[in-house]
Amino acid sequence: MQVKVSESSPFERTLEVTVTVDQVEGAYQKAFGRAAKRLRLPGFRPGKVPIPMAKKYISDEGLSGDVVDEVVPKAYVEALRQENLEPISQPKWELVQRERGKELVFKVSFEVKPVVDVQNYKGVKLKNEKDDISDETVNNSLDELRGNQSRIVDLEEDRELREGDLALVDYRSTLDGETVDGGAASNYLMEVRREHFIPGFVDNLVGCKKGEEKEFDITFPEDYPNQALAGKLVHFHFNLHQLKTRELPEANDEFAKSVSPHATIDELRKDIRERLEANAERKVREQVAIKIIDKLLTQVTNEMVPKSLHQYRTQVELRRRIQQIEQAGLTMERYLADRNVNQNQWIQELSVMGMLESRVEILLNSLANKEDLHPTDAEIEELLGVEAQNRGVSLSQLKAGIDKEGSEPLIRYALLRAKVMDFLFDNAEVEFVPVGTVIEDEPAAVEEEKKPKAKAKTKKADDEKAGEEGEAAEAKPAKKAKESKEAEEGEAEAKPAKKAKETKVKAEAETAEGEEKPKPKRAPKKKTEE
Protein backbone atom coordinates (compact mmCIF):
# COMPACT_ATOMS: atom_id res chain seq x y z
CA MET A 1 0.00 0.00 0.00
CA GLN A 2 1.26 3.42 -0.96
CA VAL A 3 0.19 6.69 0.67
CA LYS A 4 0.76 10.22 -0.61
CA VAL A 5 -0.04 13.15 1.69
CA SER A 6 -0.75 16.64 0.43
CA GLU A 7 -1.56 19.83 2.35
CA SER A 8 -4.17 22.09 0.84
CA SER A 9 -4.12 24.40 3.91
CA PRO A 10 -2.53 24.47 7.38
CA PHE A 11 -5.51 22.41 8.62
CA GLU A 12 -6.40 20.24 5.63
CA ARG A 13 -4.77 17.01 4.52
CA THR A 14 -5.52 14.82 1.53
CA LEU A 15 -4.41 11.20 1.39
CA GLU A 16 -4.08 9.40 -1.92
CA VAL A 17 -4.04 5.73 -1.04
CA THR A 18 -3.08 3.03 -3.52
CA VAL A 19 -4.00 -0.55 -2.61
CA THR A 20 -2.06 -3.32 -4.35
CA VAL A 21 -3.61 -5.58 -6.99
CA ASP A 22 -3.10 -8.63 -4.76
CA GLN A 23 -5.03 -7.02 -1.88
CA VAL A 24 -7.83 -6.00 -4.19
CA GLU A 25 -8.01 -9.45 -5.78
CA GLY A 26 -8.17 -11.08 -2.35
CA ALA A 27 -11.14 -8.83 -1.48
CA TYR A 28 -12.85 -9.81 -4.77
CA GLN A 29 -12.43 -13.49 -3.96
CA LYS A 30 -13.94 -13.02 -0.50
CA ALA A 31 -16.80 -10.98 -1.94
CA PHE A 32 -17.46 -13.64 -4.57
CA GLY A 33 -17.54 -16.37 -1.91
CA ARG A 34 -20.09 -14.42 0.13
CA ALA A 35 -22.22 -13.75 -2.93
CA ALA A 36 -22.08 -17.40 -4.04
CA LYS A 37 -23.40 -18.54 -0.66
CA ARG A 38 -26.34 -16.18 -1.04
CA LEU A 39 -27.08 -17.30 -4.62
CA ARG A 40 -30.33 -19.24 -5.12
CA LEU A 41 -30.72 -21.36 -8.28
CA PRO A 42 -33.28 -24.09 -9.06
CA GLY A 43 -31.92 -27.57 -8.41
CA PHE A 44 -29.17 -26.48 -6.03
CA ARG A 45 -29.13 -26.17 -2.28
CA PRO A 46 -28.22 -22.72 -0.89
CA GLY A 47 -24.47 -22.28 -0.97
CA LYS A 48 -23.90 -25.33 -3.18
CA VAL A 49 -24.04 -23.70 -6.61
CA PRO A 50 -20.92 -24.77 -8.60
CA ILE A 51 -18.40 -21.95 -8.96
CA PRO A 52 -18.35 -21.99 -12.81
CA MET A 53 -22.12 -21.61 -12.85
CA ALA A 54 -22.10 -18.98 -10.07
CA LYS A 55 -19.66 -16.85 -12.10
CA LYS A 56 -22.32 -16.54 -14.80
CA TYR A 57 -24.63 -14.81 -12.35
CA ILE A 58 -22.15 -12.76 -10.28
CA SER A 59 -20.42 -9.88 -12.06
CA ASP A 60 -17.33 -7.97 -11.10
CA GLU A 61 -19.42 -4.80 -11.20
CA GLY A 62 -21.84 -6.29 -8.71
CA LEU A 63 -18.97 -7.15 -6.36
CA SER A 64 -17.17 -3.83 -6.55
CA GLY A 65 -19.31 -2.21 -3.83
CA ASP A 66 -18.48 -4.99 -1.37
CA VAL A 67 -14.82 -4.79 -2.31
CA VAL A 68 -14.74 -1.05 -1.63
CA ASP A 69 -16.50 -1.56 1.71
CA GLU A 70 -13.87 -4.09 2.75
CA VAL A 71 -10.71 -2.54 1.38
CA VAL A 72 -11.16 1.21 1.83
CA PRO A 73 -11.90 1.42 5.60
CA LYS A 74 -8.96 -0.84 6.47
CA ALA A 75 -6.62 1.00 4.14
CA TYR A 76 -7.81 4.35 5.52
CA VAL A 77 -7.09 3.38 9.13
CA GLU A 78 -3.71 1.92 8.17
CA ALA A 79 -2.82 5.07 6.25
CA LEU A 80 -3.70 7.27 9.26
CA ARG A 81 -1.48 5.17 11.49
CA GLN A 82 1.34 5.13 8.94
CA GLU A 83 1.28 8.92 8.59
CA ASN A 84 0.47 9.59 12.27
CA LEU A 85 -2.61 11.65 11.43
CA GLU A 86 -5.79 12.17 13.48
CA PRO A 87 -8.78 13.59 11.59
CA ILE A 88 -10.97 16.07 13.41
CA SER A 89 -13.62 16.46 10.71
CA GLN A 90 -15.81 14.19 8.63
CA PRO A 91 -13.70 12.80 5.77
CA LYS A 92 -14.56 13.54 2.14
CA TRP A 93 -14.08 10.54 -0.13
CA GLU A 94 -13.22 10.16 -3.80
CA LEU A 95 -12.75 6.84 -5.59
CA VAL A 96 -10.14 7.37 -8.26
CA GLN A 97 -9.82 3.80 -9.60
CA ARG A 98 -11.55 0.53 -8.73
CA GLU A 99 -11.34 -1.66 -11.84
CA ARG A 100 -10.66 -5.34 -11.26
CA GLY A 101 -7.15 -6.38 -12.13
CA LYS A 102 -5.80 -2.95 -11.27
CA GLU A 103 -4.77 -1.16 -8.13
CA LEU A 104 -7.58 0.44 -6.13
CA VAL A 105 -6.94 4.15 -5.65
CA PHE A 106 -8.93 6.52 -3.47
CA LYS A 107 -8.50 9.99 -2.03
CA VAL A 108 -9.76 11.18 1.33
CA SER A 109 -9.62 14.74 2.68
CA PHE A 110 -10.09 15.94 6.25
CA GLU A 111 -9.00 18.52 8.80
CA VAL A 112 -6.31 17.83 11.39
CA LYS A 113 -5.19 19.59 14.53
CA PRO A 114 -2.46 22.07 13.74
CA VAL A 115 0.86 21.39 15.43
CA VAL A 116 2.46 24.41 17.06
CA ASP A 117 6.17 24.61 17.73
CA VAL A 118 5.71 25.54 21.37
CA GLN A 119 8.62 27.38 22.92
CA ASN A 120 9.85 27.95 26.48
CA TYR A 121 7.72 25.28 28.12
CA LYS A 122 10.52 23.83 30.24
CA GLY A 123 12.04 25.48 33.27
CA VAL A 124 9.12 27.86 33.80
CA LYS A 125 9.69 29.76 37.06
CA LEU A 126 6.73 30.55 39.28
CA LYS A 127 5.50 30.66 42.86
CA ASN A 128 2.66 28.55 44.14
CA GLU A 129 1.03 28.18 47.50
CA LYS A 130 1.16 24.85 49.24
CA ASP A 131 -0.79 23.69 52.25
CA ASP A 132 1.00 21.82 55.00
CA ILE A 133 -1.18 19.09 56.45
CA SER A 134 -1.33 19.98 60.13
CA ASP A 135 -2.56 17.88 63.03
CA GLU A 136 -5.58 20.17 63.16
CA THR A 137 -6.42 19.38 59.53
CA VAL A 138 -6.19 15.66 60.23
CA ASN A 139 -8.38 16.06 63.32
CA ASN A 140 -10.96 17.99 61.32
CA SER A 141 -11.11 15.22 58.74
CA LEU A 142 -11.42 12.66 61.49
CA ASP A 143 -14.27 14.70 62.98
CA GLU A 144 -15.98 14.63 59.60
CA LEU A 145 -15.81 10.86 59.65
CA ARG A 146 -17.20 10.87 63.17
CA GLY A 147 -19.94 13.21 61.99
CA ASN A 148 -20.98 10.65 59.38
CA GLN A 149 -21.56 8.20 62.25
CA SER A 150 -23.23 10.72 64.55
CA ARG A 151 -26.74 10.71 65.96
CA ILE A 152 -28.91 13.80 66.03
CA VAL A 153 -30.36 14.17 69.52
CA ASP A 154 -32.27 16.82 71.42
CA LEU A 155 -30.13 19.38 73.18
CA GLU A 156 -30.94 19.01 76.88
CA GLU A 157 -29.31 22.28 77.88
CA ASP A 158 -31.79 25.15 78.05
CA ARG A 159 -29.93 27.85 76.16
CA GLU A 160 -30.16 30.23 73.22
CA LEU A 161 -29.54 29.17 69.63
CA ARG A 162 -25.92 29.48 68.50
CA GLU A 163 -24.32 29.33 65.10
CA GLY A 164 -23.65 25.71 64.21
CA ASP A 165 -26.70 24.38 66.08
CA LEU A 166 -29.34 22.20 64.53
CA ALA A 167 -32.82 23.65 64.86
CA LEU A 168 -36.26 22.15 64.31
CA VAL A 169 -38.45 24.99 63.01
CA ASP A 170 -41.60 26.07 61.26
CA TYR A 171 -41.00 28.88 58.82
CA ARG A 172 -42.73 31.01 56.22
CA SER A 173 -41.22 33.54 53.82
CA THR A 174 -43.32 36.14 52.00
CA LEU A 175 -42.76 38.74 49.32
CA ASP A 176 -45.28 41.57 49.14
CA GLY A 177 -47.57 39.57 51.41
CA GLU A 178 -47.50 36.45 49.21
CA THR A 179 -45.76 33.26 50.25
CA VAL A 180 -42.64 32.65 48.20
CA ASP A 181 -42.97 29.61 45.96
CA GLY A 182 -41.94 26.71 48.19
CA GLY A 183 -41.01 29.14 50.94
CA ALA A 184 -42.79 27.47 53.87
CA ALA A 185 -42.32 24.27 55.85
CA SER A 186 -43.18 22.66 59.19
CA ASN A 187 -40.84 20.70 61.47
CA TYR A 188 -37.92 21.54 59.23
CA LEU A 189 -34.43 20.61 60.48
CA MET A 190 -31.86 23.23 59.59
CA GLU A 191 -28.18 23.66 60.34
CA VAL A 192 -27.57 27.26 61.32
CA ARG A 193 -24.35 28.22 59.55
CA ARG A 194 -23.60 31.52 57.85
CA GLU A 195 -22.13 29.88 54.76
CA HIS A 196 -25.51 28.28 54.05
CA PHE A 197 -27.53 31.49 53.84
CA ILE A 198 -27.61 35.05 52.58
CA PRO A 199 -25.94 37.77 54.70
CA GLY A 200 -27.88 38.70 57.82
CA PHE A 201 -30.06 35.60 57.91
CA VAL A 202 -28.22 33.70 60.65
CA ASP A 203 -27.67 36.88 62.71
CA ASN A 204 -31.44 37.23 63.05
CA LEU A 205 -31.84 33.67 64.38
CA VAL A 206 -28.92 33.53 66.79
CA GLY A 207 -30.16 34.13 70.34
CA CYS A 208 -33.60 32.57 69.91
CA LYS A 209 -34.79 30.07 72.52
CA LYS A 210 -36.97 26.97 72.37
CA GLY A 211 -40.65 27.90 71.84
CA GLU A 212 -39.82 31.43 70.67
CA GLU A 213 -41.20 33.03 67.51
CA LYS A 214 -39.10 35.38 65.43
CA GLU A 215 -39.98 37.70 62.54
CA PHE A 216 -37.57 39.74 60.45
CA ASP A 217 -37.02 41.26 57.02
CA ILE A 218 -34.00 40.75 54.77
CA THR A 219 -33.16 42.38 51.46
CA PHE A 220 -31.68 39.82 49.09
CA PRO A 221 -28.40 40.70 47.30
CA GLU A 222 -28.71 42.39 43.91
CA ASP A 223 -26.63 39.64 42.33
CA TYR A 224 -28.73 36.83 43.80
CA PRO A 225 -29.07 34.02 41.20
CA ASN A 226 -32.86 33.94 41.40
CA GLN A 227 -33.83 37.19 39.73
CA ALA A 228 -37.32 37.03 41.21
CA LEU A 229 -35.78 37.62 44.65
CA ALA A 230 -32.67 39.62 43.76
CA GLY A 231 -32.75 43.00 45.52
CA LYS A 232 -36.18 42.27 47.04
CA LEU A 233 -37.25 42.69 50.68
CA VAL A 234 -38.48 39.31 51.97
CA HIS A 235 -40.29 38.80 55.29
CA PHE A 236 -39.47 35.70 57.36
CA HIS A 237 -41.46 34.16 60.22
CA PHE A 238 -39.87 31.44 62.34
CA ASN A 239 -41.10 29.27 65.21
CA LEU A 240 -38.28 27.44 67.02
CA HIS A 241 -39.49 24.08 68.36
CA GLN A 242 -36.31 22.38 69.48
CA LEU A 243 -32.55 22.74 69.50
CA LYS A 244 -30.64 19.62 68.53
CA THR A 245 -27.03 18.55 68.37
CA ARG A 246 -24.87 15.84 66.92
CA GLU A 247 -23.71 13.11 69.27
CA LEU A 248 -20.35 11.96 67.94
CA PRO A 249 -18.81 8.53 68.56
CA GLU A 250 -15.53 8.45 70.44
CA ALA A 251 -12.36 8.52 68.36
CA ASN A 252 -10.98 5.19 69.55
CA ASP A 253 -9.87 1.86 68.11
CA GLU A 254 -13.43 0.57 67.95
CA PHE A 255 -14.45 3.53 65.85
CA ALA A 256 -11.45 3.00 63.53
CA LYS A 257 -12.48 -0.63 63.00
CA SER A 258 -16.07 0.37 62.24
CA VAL A 259 -15.24 2.89 59.50
CA SER A 260 -12.02 1.53 57.99
CA PRO A 261 -9.86 -1.58 57.58
CA HIS A 262 -7.50 -0.25 60.26
CA ALA A 263 -7.23 -1.84 63.69
CA THR A 264 -6.32 1.29 65.64
CA ILE A 265 -7.20 4.97 65.68
CA ASP A 266 -3.53 5.85 65.12
CA GLU A 267 -3.48 3.82 61.91
CA LEU A 268 -6.63 5.60 60.78
CA ARG A 269 -5.07 9.00 61.52
CA LYS A 270 -2.00 8.03 59.51
CA ASP A 271 -4.15 6.93 56.58
CA ILE A 272 -6.14 10.18 56.69
CA ARG A 273 -2.92 12.22 56.68
CA GLU A 274 -1.53 10.30 53.71
CA ARG A 275 -4.74 10.79 51.75
CA LEU A 276 -4.86 14.49 52.54
CA GLU A 277 -1.22 14.89 51.53
CA ALA A 278 -1.86 13.05 48.25
CA ASN A 279 -4.87 15.25 47.51
CA ALA A 280 -2.85 18.36 48.32
CA GLU A 281 -0.08 17.18 46.01
CA ARG A 282 -2.54 16.60 43.15
CA LYS A 283 -4.04 20.03 43.72
CA VAL A 284 -0.66 21.74 43.63
CA ARG A 285 0.46 19.88 40.52
CA GLU A 286 -2.72 20.90 38.77
CA GLN A 287 -2.44 24.53 39.85
CA VAL A 288 1.13 24.80 38.61
CA ALA A 289 0.37 23.10 35.29
CA ILE A 290 -2.64 25.35 34.68
CA LYS A 291 -0.54 28.45 35.32
CA ILE A 292 2.08 27.24 32.84
CA ILE A 293 -0.55 26.42 30.22
CA ASP A 294 -2.00 29.86 30.68
CA LYS A 295 1.41 31.41 29.96
CA LEU A 296 1.99 29.20 26.92
CA LEU A 297 -1.47 29.73 25.48
CA THR A 298 -0.39 33.04 23.97
CA GLN A 299 1.42 30.94 21.35
CA VAL A 300 -1.90 29.54 20.07
CA THR A 301 -4.23 32.12 18.52
CA ASN A 302 -7.86 31.85 17.44
CA GLU A 303 -6.68 31.86 13.82
CA MET A 304 -4.86 28.58 14.43
CA VAL A 305 -8.08 26.78 15.39
CA PRO A 306 -9.81 24.71 12.67
CA LYS A 307 -13.52 25.31 12.38
CA SER A 308 -14.36 21.66 12.96
CA LEU A 309 -12.43 21.57 16.26
CA HIS A 310 -14.15 24.75 17.47
CA GLN A 311 -17.52 23.22 16.58
CA TYR A 312 -16.72 20.00 18.40
CA ARG A 313 -15.49 21.68 21.59
CA THR A 314 -18.55 23.92 21.63
CA GLN A 315 -20.81 20.88 21.38
CA VAL A 316 -18.94 19.13 24.22
CA GLU A 317 -19.45 22.20 26.40
CA LEU A 318 -23.13 22.36 25.42
CA ARG A 319 -23.77 18.75 26.42
CA ARG A 320 -21.94 19.22 29.69
CA ARG A 321 -23.93 22.30 30.62
CA ILE A 322 -27.26 20.69 29.74
CA GLN A 323 -26.36 17.69 31.88
CA GLN A 324 -25.57 19.98 34.82
CA ILE A 325 -28.85 21.84 34.40
CA GLU A 326 -30.82 18.59 34.35
CA GLN A 327 -28.97 17.22 37.38
CA ALA A 328 -29.80 20.43 39.26
CA GLY A 329 -33.49 19.83 38.49
CA LEU A 330 -33.82 23.09 36.55
CA THR A 331 -35.58 23.95 33.34
CA MET A 332 -33.67 25.76 30.64
CA GLU A 333 -35.95 28.76 31.07
CA ARG A 334 -35.24 28.93 34.81
CA TYR A 335 -31.51 28.50 34.28
CA LEU A 336 -31.29 31.31 31.73
CA ALA A 337 -33.46 33.59 33.83
CA ASP A 338 -31.31 33.03 36.93
CA ARG A 339 -28.21 33.97 34.92
CA ASN A 340 -30.01 36.93 33.33
CA VAL A 341 -29.08 35.93 29.78
CA ASN A 342 -31.11 34.93 26.75
CA GLN A 343 -30.59 31.80 24.70
CA ASN A 344 -28.52 33.49 21.99
CA GLN A 345 -26.21 35.08 24.57
CA TRP A 346 -25.75 31.73 26.28
CA ILE A 347 -24.90 29.97 23.03
CA GLN A 348 -22.37 32.69 22.30
CA GLU A 349 -20.80 32.06 25.71
CA LEU A 350 -20.50 28.38 24.82
CA SER A 351 -18.86 29.30 21.53
CA VAL A 352 -16.28 31.45 23.31
CA MET A 353 -15.56 28.63 25.76
CA GLY A 354 -15.34 26.19 22.85
CA MET A 355 -12.70 28.37 21.20
CA LEU A 356 -10.71 28.56 24.43
CA GLU A 357 -10.81 24.81 24.93
CA SER A 358 -9.80 24.31 21.29
CA ARG A 359 -6.69 26.43 21.81
CA VAL A 360 -5.84 24.46 24.95
CA GLU A 361 -6.30 21.17 23.08
CA ILE A 362 -3.99 22.31 20.26
CA LEU A 363 -1.37 23.37 22.79
CA LEU A 364 -1.52 20.12 24.74
CA ASN A 365 -1.49 18.02 21.58
CA SER A 366 1.52 19.93 20.26
CA LEU A 367 3.40 19.36 23.51
CA ALA A 368 2.43 15.68 23.43
CA ASN A 369 3.89 15.44 19.92
CA LYS A 370 7.15 17.10 20.95
CA GLU A 371 7.64 14.98 24.05
CA ASP A 372 5.98 11.74 22.89
CA LEU A 373 3.26 11.91 25.54
CA HIS A 374 0.32 10.57 23.57
CA PRO A 375 -1.52 7.87 25.54
CA THR A 376 -0.98 4.34 24.32
CA ASP A 377 -3.68 1.72 23.81
CA ALA A 378 -2.22 -0.15 26.79
CA GLU A 379 -2.58 2.92 29.02
CA ILE A 380 -6.18 3.39 27.90
CA GLU A 381 -6.87 -0.28 28.59
CA GLU A 382 -5.33 0.00 32.07
CA LEU A 383 -7.38 3.10 32.84
CA LEU A 384 -10.62 1.44 31.74
CA GLY A 385 -9.78 -1.68 33.72
CA VAL A 386 -9.44 0.33 36.93
CA GLU A 387 -12.63 2.24 36.19
CA ALA A 388 -14.57 -0.96 35.47
CA GLN A 389 -13.43 -2.35 38.80
CA ASN A 390 -14.45 0.85 40.59
CA ARG A 391 -17.91 0.71 39.04
CA GLY A 392 -18.36 -3.00 39.68
CA VAL A 393 -18.89 -3.85 36.00
CA SER A 394 -16.97 -5.92 33.49
CA LEU A 395 -14.48 -4.29 31.14
CA SER A 396 -16.59 -5.33 28.16
CA GLN A 397 -19.68 -3.70 29.69
CA LEU A 398 -17.76 -0.47 30.30
CA LYS A 399 -16.41 -0.45 26.74
CA ALA A 400 -19.88 -1.07 25.34
CA GLY A 401 -21.18 1.96 27.20
CA ILE A 402 -18.28 4.09 25.99
CA ASP A 403 -18.87 3.01 22.38
CA LYS A 404 -22.57 3.78 22.70
CA GLU A 405 -21.89 7.24 24.13
CA GLY A 406 -19.06 7.95 21.73
CA SER A 407 -16.90 9.12 24.62
CA GLU A 408 -13.66 7.31 23.76
CA PRO A 409 -12.05 10.46 22.23
CA LEU A 410 -12.83 12.40 25.42
CA ILE A 411 -11.22 9.70 27.57
CA ARG A 412 -8.14 9.60 25.37
CA TYR A 413 -7.84 13.38 25.45
CA ALA A 414 -8.27 13.50 29.23
CA LEU A 415 -5.41 11.03 29.65
CA LEU A 416 -3.25 13.03 27.24
CA ARG A 417 -4.03 16.17 29.22
CA ALA A 418 -3.04 14.47 32.46
CA LYS A 419 0.29 13.29 31.03
CA VAL A 420 1.14 16.71 29.60
CA MET A 421 0.22 18.50 32.83
CA ASP A 422 2.38 16.10 34.84
CA PHE A 423 5.23 16.75 32.42
CA LEU A 424 4.88 20.53 32.75
CA PHE A 425 4.91 20.33 36.52
CA ASP A 426 7.93 17.99 36.61
CA ASN A 427 9.88 20.35 34.35
CA ALA A 428 8.96 23.60 36.10
CA GLU A 429 10.97 25.52 38.67
CA VAL A 430 8.42 26.04 41.42
CA GLU A 431 8.95 27.94 44.63
CA PHE A 432 6.44 26.77 47.20
CA VAL A 433 5.22 29.40 49.65
CA PRO A 434 2.71 29.40 52.52
CA VAL A 435 -0.97 29.82 51.74
CA GLY A 436 -2.00 33.47 51.53
CA THR A 437 1.40 34.81 50.45
CA VAL A 438 0.83 34.74 46.68
CA ILE A 439 -1.55 37.37 45.36
CA GLU A 440 -2.37 36.89 41.73
CA ASP A 441 -5.32 36.37 39.46
CA GLU A 442 -6.45 32.92 38.56
CA PRO A 443 -5.38 31.84 35.08
CA ALA A 444 -7.80 33.43 32.64
CA ALA A 445 -7.31 31.01 29.84
CA VAL A 446 -7.43 27.62 31.48
CA GLU A 447 -10.15 26.06 33.54
CA GLU A 448 -11.12 22.47 34.38
CA GLU A 449 -13.22 20.05 32.28
CA LYS A 450 -15.12 16.78 33.11
CA LYS A 451 -12.63 14.07 33.38
CA PRO A 452 -12.09 10.37 33.55
CA LYS A 453 -10.31 8.94 36.55
CA ALA A 454 -6.82 9.28 35.20
CA LYS A 455 -5.77 12.17 37.42
CA ALA A 456 -6.81 14.26 34.46
CA LYS A 457 -8.07 17.63 35.56
CA THR A 458 -10.76 19.37 33.66
CA LYS A 459 -12.88 22.56 33.64
CA LYS A 460 -15.34 23.68 36.34
CA ALA A 461 -18.17 25.68 34.85
CA ASP A 462 -18.91 29.01 36.42
CA ASP A 463 -22.45 27.81 36.89
CA GLU A 464 -21.61 24.33 38.14
CA LYS A 465 -23.94 24.65 41.09
CA ALA A 466 -26.78 26.06 39.05
CA GLY A 467 -29.86 26.60 41.11
CA GLU A 468 -28.53 25.51 44.51
CA GLU A 469 -28.87 28.95 46.04
CA GLY A 470 -32.21 29.43 44.36
CA GLU A 471 -33.57 26.40 46.20
CA ALA A 472 -32.24 27.61 49.53
CA ALA A 473 -33.65 31.10 49.21
CA GLU A 474 -36.95 30.86 47.51
CA ALA A 475 -38.17 27.55 48.76
CA LYS A 476 -36.23 26.79 51.90
CA PRO A 477 -34.38 29.63 53.55
CA ALA A 478 -32.69 27.10 55.72
CA LYS A 479 -31.04 24.07 54.20
CA LYS A 480 -31.41 20.65 55.76
CA ALA A 481 -28.61 19.69 58.09
CA LYS A 482 -25.83 18.46 55.87
CA GLU A 483 -24.10 15.19 56.48
CA SER A 484 -20.37 15.69 56.79
CA LYS A 485 -18.12 14.82 53.87
CA GLU A 486 -15.85 11.80 53.86
CA ALA A 487 -12.29 12.44 54.98
CA GLU A 488 -10.93 11.20 51.72
CA GLU A 489 -11.71 13.42 48.80
CA GLY A 490 -10.48 10.92 46.21
CA GLU A 491 -10.11 11.57 42.53
CA ALA A 492 -12.95 12.42 40.21
CA GLU A 493 -14.53 9.40 38.60
CA ALA A 494 -13.82 8.40 35.04
CA LYS A 495 -17.43 8.19 34.04
CA PRO A 496 -17.87 9.36 30.47
CA ALA A 497 -20.56 11.96 30.39
CA LYS A 498 -24.03 10.73 29.42
CA LYS A 499 -25.56 12.16 26.30
CA ALA A 500 -27.73 15.11 27.06
CA LYS A 501 -31.32 15.17 25.93
CA GLU A 502 -32.06 16.59 22.51
CA THR A 503 -33.47 20.04 23.12
CA LYS A 504 -34.39 23.16 21.21
CA VAL A 505 -31.28 24.81 22.57
CA LYS A 506 -29.10 21.94 21.37
CA ALA A 507 -30.63 22.10 17.92
CA GLU A 508 -30.07 25.81 17.66
CA ALA A 509 -26.51 25.51 18.89
CA GLU A 510 -25.80 22.81 16.33
CA THR A 511 -27.22 25.03 13.64
CA ALA A 512 -24.96 27.84 14.76
CA GLU A 513 -21.85 25.79 15.38
CA GLY A 514 -22.04 22.91 12.87
CA GLU A 515 -21.66 19.16 13.17
CA GLU A 516 -19.81 17.31 15.87
CA LYS A 517 -16.30 15.96 15.58
CA PRO A 518 -16.28 12.35 14.36
CA LYS A 519 -14.64 9.56 16.24
CA PRO A 520 -10.98 9.58 15.20
CA LYS A 521 -9.43 6.69 13.37
CA ARG A 522 -12.78 5.29 12.30
CA ALA A 523 -13.23 4.82 8.58
CA PRO A 524 -16.86 4.98 7.55
CA LYS A 525 -17.99 2.40 5.09
CA LYS A 526 -18.46 3.80 1.61
CA LYS A 527 -22.06 2.68 1.25
CA THR A 528 -23.16 4.18 4.53
CA GLU A 529 -21.20 7.41 4.33
CA GLU A 530 -23.22 10.37 5.53
Same domain, 101 and 166: no
Q: Are both 12 and 107 inside the same structural domain?
A: yes
What's the CA dihedral at 272, 276, 279, 281 to 10 degrees? Answer: -130
Contacts of 337 (CB under 8 A, 6+ apart): 227
Same domain, 75 and 156: no
- Contact of 189 with 210, CB cutoff 8 Å: no
Distance CA 129, CA 291 (A): 12
Quote the CA–CA distance of 37 and 55 in Å, as a whole number.
12
**Domain match, 40 and 95 both:** yes
Exposure string for 186-198, b = 16+ CB within 10 A, e = fewer: eebbbbbeeebbb
Q: Do 181 and 230 reside in the same domain of the chain? A: yes
Residues facing residue 5 across a β-bridge: 15
pLDDT at 120: 95
CATH assignment of the domain containing 231: 3.10.50.40
Q: Is residue 504 part of a domain?
A: no
Which domain does 224 fall in, by range? 151-247+467-485
Ranges of residues in the chain with a pLDDT under 70 are 49, 62, 439-530
Identify the pLDDT of residue 443: 52
Q: Of 56, 91, 111, which marks where a domain is finished?
A: 111
Strand positions, DSSP E, 11-85: 12-19
Any domain includes 300: no
Q: Is residue 392 in a domain? A: no
Q: 111, 136, 164 — which closes off a domain?
A: 111
What confidence score (pLDDT) does residue 79 get? 93
Identity of residue 420: V
In a domain, 131, yes or no: no
* Domain assignment of residue 196, yes or no: yes
Write the CB contacts of 408 (distance below 8 Å, at least 6 apart in sequence): 402, 519
State the SS3 of 280-346: HHHHHHHHHHHHHHHHHHHHCCHHHCCHHHHHHHHHHHHHHHHHHHHHCCCCHHHHHHHHCCCHHHH
Looking at the domain assignment, is residue 275 inside a domain? no
Q: Point out the domain boundary residue: 51, 82, 111.
A: 111
User: 174 and 87 share a domain?
Assistant: no
Residues 174 and 241 in one domain: yes
Q: Which amino acid is at 33?
A: G
Task: Indicate the pairing of strand 104-111 with strand 12-19.
Answer: antiparallel
DSSP letters spanning 111-177 = EB-------S-SS-EEEEE-----HHHHHHHHHHHHHHT-EEEE--S-----TT-EEEEEEEEEETT
Could you tell me if 157 and 95 lie in one domain? no
Contact (Cβ atoms closer than 8 angstroms) between residue 362 and residue 114: yes
Shared domain check, 163 and 97: no
Q: What is the CATH number of the domain that holds 36?
A: 3.30.70.1050
Question: pLDDT digit string (tens) for 301-323?
Answer: 999 999 999 998 999 899 999 99
pLDDT in tens, 334-369: 889 888 889 999 999 999 999 999 999 999 999 999
Domain count, the chain: 2
Vertex 73: Cα angle to 69 and 78 (nearest 5): 150
β 429-433/233-247 pair status: unpaired
| Judgement on whether residues 164 and 236 belong to the same structural domain of the protein | yes
In a domain? residue 40: yes
Task: Determine how β-strand 233-247 pairs with β-strand 151-154.
Answer: antiparallel
Whether residue 435 lies inside any domain: the answer is: no
- Same domain as 105, residue 6: yes
